[in-house]
Structure 1
Amino acid sequence: MRKIERVGFVIKPHAPDIEKILAELIRYFEKKGMECLLEEKAAQKLKKGEGIPREELPGKVELMVVLGGDGTLLSIAHLTAQKDVPVLGVNMGSLGFLTEVPLDEACLTLDAFLEGEEK
């Protein structure tokens, strides 16, 4: 697996507390020295410029974090598969069959993933 230097974020823009959760996860990665790239809707939510078109994001990162439900995850899955980029799908409250990481376990799951990536 490639060393993770850049993390991309894709969101479901109307998910509850999305701005707060997105900002917390960005801080998490930045504390680890990683650059965070936002797709257009995520950048708009945080008022951080225009963002990167969703179709281009997987070619610029080594990990994708999807905050939303199964539909949000599926909208990015085929793009990441073409680039061999791992995806962490964080369930934002609705029933999720594919976004299996509950919000309250996101940082623990990321710690375990990143620890394994470093070995």
Structure 2
Amino acid sequence: MQTLALIAKKDKPEAAQLALQLRERYPQLTLLAERALAHALGWPRVEDRELASRADLAVVLGGDGTLIHAARLLGGRGVPILGVNLGSLGFMTEVPVEGLFEQLDEVLAGRFRVDSRMKLRCRLVRAGKLCLEDEVLNDVVINKGALARIGDHHASIDGVYITTYKSDGVIVATPTGSTAYSLSAGGPIVHPSVDCMVLSPICSHALTQRSIVVPAERLVRIELGPNTADTYLTLDGQTGHGLQGGDILEVERSPNRVNLVRNPKVAYFSILRQKLHWGQR
């Protein structure tokens, strides 16, 4: 590994200081900073596409939101991502600041393993035309805006009609995203090594409509009712798009994966216990 891409949380002085320490500690490596960090440090600006194409390893300085941004920036490349958490322990940013250099030394020596995380590919079809195609690590969310009215969301799996969710919206989540918005909507926690999708209505009018765990190789299709208004599509909480009645969302497993460098000192279930306060009263 010769080229490191540094992706940091914006307006975080601690991240800028760590970037400077990394350059000082590893002068033999090429360090590329994403645009906001490069501007803060006075480093040469590198476009996102070049950063993604040249990186051998991505080092994230921030939290889970920053890591999701990094995964989107890298696109379909399976570059290992080392997540360094600058706050409390994250679900994906497992390495504490004080353990950064020790962990990075191991990675550079080739002594590391990764979790290969499933992604989803989402397509927005309007009046028979493809309007949008993108990929997510966490979730695809259809949600209402300011108006307090439910909408009709006609859901099918592999062309078989399932139900019409009369609800505030619908979430299609990966196992990684099962501990995010999907969990708040009553969805299950799915271990990230299990490839599947979690389909969950948001505040469904019918209490019997619960989350469904769908095999990863299936195609989930959601068509919005004709009277849909003030409704939005949100991808990984990063980008938003307005939706119209009759719009169709198609969601399936992406052929691309996100490879997260594991912290050998932290287990997945220990993260759950800490983040979700299991066993506490």
TM-score interval, normalised by the smaller of the two chains:
0.7 to 0.9
Alpha-carbon displacement from aligned partner over 1:9-57 (angstroms, at most 9, x marks no partner): 1110222422211100122222xx11111110111111123x2233441
- Contact kept, 8 Å, 1:16 with 1:92, in 2: the verdict is no
The residue type paired with residue 58 of structure 2 is M
Whole-angstrom CA distance in 2 between matches of 1:97 and 1:55: 27
Say whether residues 1:68 and 2:56 are aligned partners.
no
| Counterparts of 1:108 and 1:41, CA distance in 2 | 26
Q: 1:85 aligns with which of 79, 89, 102?
A: 79
Give the structure with the higher percent strand. Answer: 2
| Structure possessing the higher radius of gyration over alpha carbons | 2
Q: Report if aligned partners of 1:64, 1:86 keep a CA contact under 8 Å in 2.
A: yes
Does the Cα contact within 8 Å between 2:85 and 2:97 map onto a contact in 1?
A: yes
SS in 2 for 1:25: helix
Q: Cα gap change, 1:41/1:28 in structure 2, threshold over 3 Å: closer, same or farther?
A: same
Deviating 4+ runs (over 6 angstroms): none
**More relative contact order, 1 or 2 (CA 8 Å, 6+ apart):** 1
Q: Specify the alignment match of 2:5 in structure 1.
A: 8
Tell me the distance in 2 between the aligned counterparts of 1:54 and 1:42.
Answer: 12
Matched, 1:110 2:104: yes
Alignment partner of 1:25 is 2:22: yes
Q: 2:33 aligns with which of 30, 38, 61?
A: 38
Indicate if the aligned counterparts of 2:89 and 2:96 stay in contact, CA closer than 8 A: no
Gapped runs of 5+ residues in structure 2? 112-281
Paired residue type of 1:36: L
Q: Percent identity?
A: 36
How far, CA to CA, are the matches of 2:77 and 2:25 in structure 1?
24
Q: Is the 8 A contact 1:80 1:87 kept in 2?
A: no
Larger proportion of helix: 1
Distance 2:62 2:22 in 1: 14
CA RMSD in angstroms, aligned pairs only: 1.8
Give 2:25's aligned amino acid: Y
Gaps of 5+ in 1: none
- 2-structure distance, mates of 1:40, 1:100: 24
Q: Residue 187 of structure 2 corresponds to which residue in structure 1?
A: none
